[in-house]
Amino acid sequence: MRINALTIAGTDPSGGAGIQADLKAFSALGAYGTSVITALVAQNTQGVQSVYSIDPAFVEAQLHSVLDDVHIDSLKIGMLANSEIVTVVAKALQHYSVPYAVLDTVMIAKSGDPLLAPEAVDALRTLLLPHVSLITPNLPEAAALLGCTPASNEQEMREQGRELLALGCSAVLMKGGHLSESESPDWLLSKEGEQRFSSVRIATKNTHGTGCTLSAALAALRPRYPDWATTVRAAKEYLQLAIQAADSLNVGKGIGPVHHFHHWW
């Protein structure tokens, strides 16, 4: 099965997150990658040094360039930077028929640097969530979308996931990596039900780009699987192996990237 996938996101010159990570994950999982760039981000394994947001009209032009020409089976949305770009992407989702759209609610980089203007959170919540197939918030992002404090346990995770579903998205993958447990629990919630997934925590500092990589993997794999539950299981397995192999790389002085091509080298 040939899959064309699209990533709509910002850049990472060090190659571990953003557009670069998405395209690596697409390729590793057998999907042809296309891209629309929303922001040029000067960042590396030690943090974000500068952000240059692309003019919304040019983001729109890129979207039309890809979607008018290439049949896209699935797409992933990452960093959107501001409310104007959120609006442009939301309009594109309404205009073009793409079977699966995964929204990684990128707000803060692994280093703690902001990647979404505070005033854009409302636009993300009201304009974009109702038009995507799956959102993948971590606990601080879910709390920001709901205007509450982050969940401190799995019951609160599930409750907040239900509140996000009520905002109009089709499914929510609540990521529990911020909980202080020996395993990292995730909850997939949809109208069909709720399902728990867990991964053993790996002793490594090299986790740069894990959120980007997971959402890209979900987009790349969804056309191959019958539902989100089996897709999540396959995507998490790929990411777990990428994290396990992360220390075999030697990239940067800070939080290094996961190894997207662990199957090959």
210 is catalytic: yes
Contacts of 130 (CB under 8 A, 6+ apart): 167, 168, 169
Backbone angles phi and psi of 231, in degrees to 5: -65, -45
Catalytic, out of 7, 11, 45, 207: 207
Each residue's pLDDT tens digit, 99-152: 999 999 988 776 667 778 788 899 999 999 999 999 999 999 999 999 999 999
Pair 179, 154: CB distance under 8 Å:
yes
pTM of the predicted structure, to 2 decimals: 0.96
Any catalytic annotation for residue 212?
yes
Active-site position among 105, 211, 213, 256: 211
Catalytic annotation present for 193:
no
* The one catalytic residue among 76, 78, 212, 236: 212
What's the CA gap between 31 and 73, in Å, rounded? Answer: 10
Q: What is the pLDDT along the chain (265 residues), one digit of tens a residue?
A: 899 999 999 999 999 999 999 999 999 999 999 999 999 999 999 999 999 999 999 999 999 999 999 999 999 999 999 999 999 999 999 999 999 999 999 887 766 677 787 888 999 999 999 999 999 999 999 999 999 999 999 999 999 999 999 999 999 999 988 787 778 899 999 988 999 999 888 999 999 999 999 999 999 999 999 999 999 999 999 999 999 999 999 999 999 999 999 999 9
**15: annotated active-site residue:** no
